[in-house]
Structure 1
Amino acid sequence: MRKLNSTDKDFFEKLNLLTAFEAAQDVTLDQRVADIVEQVKKQGDKALVAYTKQFDRRDIQYVNELSVSLDDCKKAFDALPKVQKEALTTASSRIQSFHERQKAEGWTYTEMDGTVLGQKITPLDRVGIYVPGGKAAYPSSVLMNAIPAKVAGVEQIIMVVPTPDDVKNPLVLAAAFVAGVDQVFTVGGAQAVAALAYGTATIPAVDKIVGPGNAYVAAAKRRVFGVVGIDMVAGPSEILVIADGTTDPKWVAMDLFSQAEHDEIAQAILLCPNADYLQQVEVAIHQLLETMPRRDVISASLASRGAMILVGSLDEACDISNHIAPEHLELSVARPEDLLNKIKHAGAIFMGKFSSESLGDYCAGPNHVLPTGRTARFASPLGVYDFQKRSSIIQVSQQGAQHLGAVASELARGEGLVAHACSAEFRLE
């Protein structure tokens, strides 16, 4: 891992280069994705079969081979060892409990003249959840995407997941059963996103697509946005740890690994005002790395986008963290509550040395679909609110129409929109 010092004159220049990443901006990739989306839009199921054979190396002839029955999902759950069943159901229960608290209700208020104003909250009709597959299987992503939609009241949840070489992960199918997914299709990549956006004879079109994926998925989500809603364009995983030297260095090293093992371009950064402690963590990294099955991925990630940063104080660490706006932020300090109010931008904040990021990924309860690439400056974790929409309620009384009509008329004529003005004026007494 590279070493930076906040006192260096070019510190922020180096930091910005380190953290810079824009998902799905490659021109060649974008054009390839555009072609895939267009072919699925035109040819539907035929294109899905062709792309699945090409990209996932599956010997299929008909689109119904991409469908997984809900009965098969239940069988996958029933066949799991007891400990895995309990892990899935415990995580599901905790995720649901947290997200129940996010559910918004409509409201109205009545003005003195009898005019009623308010907001109506309604769930989306149908959503698509994209679950990554390939380098790893992510049953946790099924739970984190589907459960908030269920809590919101979404009528139908369509899940797509790639299964390269026709290898179906039983935990992913079991998670679909636990989370209450309505339909499952084993298709992935840009072609799956296009199918969800435009619909085919087999896969129904949805209103919104959520869930992370690779660069092709990110580019496809960006391309179909507007035809459907999307949650975000996700980039590589990120973790930033602010440490004061009171946490076991091995714990911090493993926390950095927990995100670095996702991808060679994932990012892991450690901020600390104690140079000796940074060295201890570095020693721990070297000791633990050889024990990791995905050590090559971790090593590449730490070398390309990781950093250990010596800062002047914990307050300065918070300022730097706000500049980075990380996906996951660990406050691995003795008194994390002292720093919380200083943090403005982070997808999820883990308080204290026992709050490892991995608990948030799986079972703490809050959502693990989080803003990346500095988008935590303006974006939020996936939640129930992503599956609800708001409609304004305007019921103007006869008395209210007199006052509001005069105001609207004046403003409309000022804009040169006479029909607008007349529409209001016709109701004046």
Structure 2
Amino acid sequence: MIRRVDLRGRVAAGEVLDLQALQALVPRAVFDVEKALDVVRPICLDVRHRGLEAIREYGEQFDHVRVDDLRVPAEALKTALEQLDPEVRSAFEESIRRVREVSEDERGADVVSQPAPGGRVTQRLVPVQRVGLYVPGGRAPLASSVVMNVVPAQVAGVPSLAVASPPQRPGRWGGEGSEPAFGGLPHPTVLAVCAMLGIEEVYAMGGAQAIAGFAYGFEGCRKVNLITGPGNIYVVAAKRLLKGEVGIDSEAGPTEIAVLADDTADAVHVAADLISQAEHDPMAASVLVTPSETLAQSVEKELALQVAQTKHRERVEEALGGQQSAVVLVDDLDQGTAVVDAYAAEHLEIQTADAEERAGLINNAGAIFVGGWSPVSLGDYCAGSNHVLPTAGCACHSSGLSVRSFLKAVHVVNYSREALQDVAGHVVALANAEDLPAHGAAVSVRFPEAAKDEG
């Protein structure tokens, strides 16, 4: 069901397993965003020029739903919340509370520095003014992504928020015939959570056309400054293409989990955690890195048992059997640590005897889950952390979504006459060194008496 990659003995045999070599050896999905750019480029250009009508047509083509009014009616939001299962509502309320508490702790405050008497530099943290939040709705209605997008944006103080989520196609969720599920609206759980959080601007649109709609604006929807949220390869490609037209958080594509484990790990738990992420998508990656042959064998047996009982068995089997998933056997935990650091997983679980100390050695991961009682599923919903995280190795240079994603840092410089005069000579010297004398003159012109004295 899941293949093996055996790295044991290679170093002893003289092979150099440096960072570059490890990155080539670890399992990775074929996720060709560059190729997908060729698909989404004409879509985005069409939306730029034809706006609303183009979004409608692509929604009909890709989601098989014709939506005349993309804006979800306020009554639909209200009804979705009223009909939400009380137990599910309570769970979302707790998730919101925890994410909000962590976000408020992250928010930070303006920082004032005084590099010289009379000279003050203030770093103001200013919220982005308008944000488009994307919530996937293909194989699963990821209503939890509403929480992860909206709450940190609200804590940051973003004044204008809009959510996009795909209309639900015919045949989904027990729908019959050619009629779209839920009247062609996004999944009602997504709408209910939007209503819980006070989001009134919600659009039934998905895919690259939704990203382009937010980036360029269309009839009834102002363009945004920033787009956040995970999605499929076409959503990721559209975000990459339109970066610069708008800001983006990161390229969050198909999910991945890496588990670094030793003999102290529980094979039942490890197998369940690998399956939990494989459940998302046939392209999802599940990777176990371990020096323990015993654990590897036990996990492989558990996978066979647990996959046979899981609801989305076909999807899970395809993900676990794909080239992006594997059991990676290593010489020892130090080599295992180097492997997972090179892999830069979206989610990294560490289930070892020294889990907390070993977590401190990791530089590259979207989020790190320490010990046997911190599964990724906890982070997906109720840890208080954010589950919108960089994938495909992007964790080596990008961060997960947080309140900081919605803030800009603006330096405010305030110098007195005396403070400027004190540093004027340095400014002039540096300007002349760069052959930009007008820069220096912009300072010296303010002190004509000094020029006379020098004359």
Shorter-chain TM-score bucket reads over 0.9
Query: 3-state SS of the aligned residue for 1:67?
Result: coil
Instruction: Return the offset for 1:102.
Output: 0.6
Counterpart amino acid of residue 369 in structure 1: V
Matching residue within 168, 185, 202 for 2:203: 185
- In structure 2, C-alpha distance between the alignment counterparts of 1:384 and 1:335, rounded to whole Å: 31
Of 144, 147, 169 in structure 2, the residue corresponding to residue 143 of structure 1 is 147
- Structure 1 residue 93, shift from structure 2 partner: 0.8
Does the Cα contact within 8 Å between 2:28 and 2:285 map onto a contact in 1? Answer: no
Report the AA paired with residue 70 of structure 2.
Answer: L
Map of 1:367 onto structure 2: 386
Asked if the contact 1:194–1:224 (Cα under 8 Å) also holds between the matched residues in 2, the reply is: yes
8 Å contact from structure 2 (residues 343, 393) kept in 1: yes
TM-score, L = length of structure 1: 0.94
CA–CA separation in structure 2 for the residues paired with 1:164 and 1:282: 36
Please state how far the C-alpha of 1:278 moved relative to its aligned partner.
0.8
Matched, 1:377 2:384: no
Tell me, in whole angstroms, the C-alpha distance in 1 between the residues paired with 2:301 and 2:155.
Answer: 45
Any residues of structure 2 matched to 1:105-254 within 5 Å, and which? 105-165=109-169, 166-167=180-181, 168-254=186-272
Q: Distance in 2 between matches of 1:115 and 1:18?
A: 52
Tell whether 2:48 aligns with 1:48. no
Q: CA deviation at 1:120?
A: 1.1
1:419 corresponds, among 429, 433, 438, to: 438
User: Does residue 3 of the first structure (1) align with residue 11 of the second (2)?
Assistant: no
The 10-residue stretch of structure 1 (383-392 or 102-111) with the greater mean CA deviation from structure 2: 102-111
> Counterpart of 2:33 in structure 1: which amino acid?
Q
One-letter amino acid of the counterpart of residue 248, structure 1:
D
Give the match for residue 33 of structure 2: 25
Partner Cα separation in structure 2 for residue 359 and residue 281 of structure 1: 21
Deviations 1:267-288 (Å, cap 9, x if unpaired)? 1111122111110111111111
Distance 1:310 1:24 in 2: 27
From 257, 275, 290, give the equivalent of 2:293. Answer: 275
- Which has the higher mean CA deviation after the structures are superposed, 33-42 or 313-322? 313-322
Q: Helix, strand or coil for the counterpart of 1:262?
A: coil
Question: Structure 1 residues 157 and 275, CA, compared in 2 at 3 Å: closer, same or farther?
Answer: same
Task: Give the AA of the match of 2:234.
Answer: Y
Change in Cα spacing, 1:424 to 1:20, as seen in structure 2 (3 Å) is farther
* 2:328 aligned with 1:309: yes
The count of corresponding residues between Structure 1 and Structure 2 is 425
The code of the aligned residue for 1:336 comes to A
Q: Aligned residue for 2:173?
A: none
Q: Distance in 1 between matches of 2:39 and 2:331?
A: 47
Q: CA deviation at 1:194?
A: 0.7
Match among 85, 90, 103 for residue 81 of structure 1: 85
| Aligned twin of 2:314 | 296
User: Deviations 1:67-86 (Å, cap 9, x if unpaired)?
Assistant: 11344223211211211111
How much has 1:229 moved relative to structure 2? Answer: 0.4
Cα contact 2:26–2:343 (8 A) shared by 1: no
Q: Deviations over 1:38-84 (max 9, x none)?
A: 11111111111111122111134x3xx21113442232112112111
Shift of 1:307: 1.0
Secondary structure (helix, strand or coil) at the match of 1:200 reads coil
- Which one of 312, 318, 338 corresponds to residue 337 of structure 2? 318
Partner of 2:282: 264
1:196–1:308 CA distance, 2 compared to 1 (3 A)? same
Q: Which amino acid aligns with 1:251?
A: H
From 404, 417, 424, give the equivalent of 1:405: 424
Q: Which amino acid aligns with 1:120?
A: R
1:248 Cα offset (Å): 2.6
Secondary structure of 2:106's partner?
A: coil
Separation in 2, partners of 1:311, 1:20? 17
Structure 2: 5+ residue stretches without partners: 170-179, 451-455
Gap regions ≥5 residues in structure 1: none
- Give 1:16's match in structure 2, choosing from 13, 21, 24: 24
Counterpart CA distance in 1 for 2:104 and 2:149 is 14
State the partner residue of 1:99: 103
1:343: Cα distance to partner?
1.6
Residue equivalent to 2:172: none
Report if the CA contact (8 A) 1:267-1:302 is conserved: yes
The superposition leaves residues 207-245 of structure 1 with CA deviations (integer Å, 9 ceiling, x where unpaired) of 100001111111110111111100011232111111122
CA distance in 1 between partners of 2:144 and 2:65 (Å): 25
Q: Distance in 2 between matches of 1:246 and 1:18?
A: 23
Paired letter, 1:46:
E
Root-mean-square deviation (CA, aligned residues, Å) is 1.8
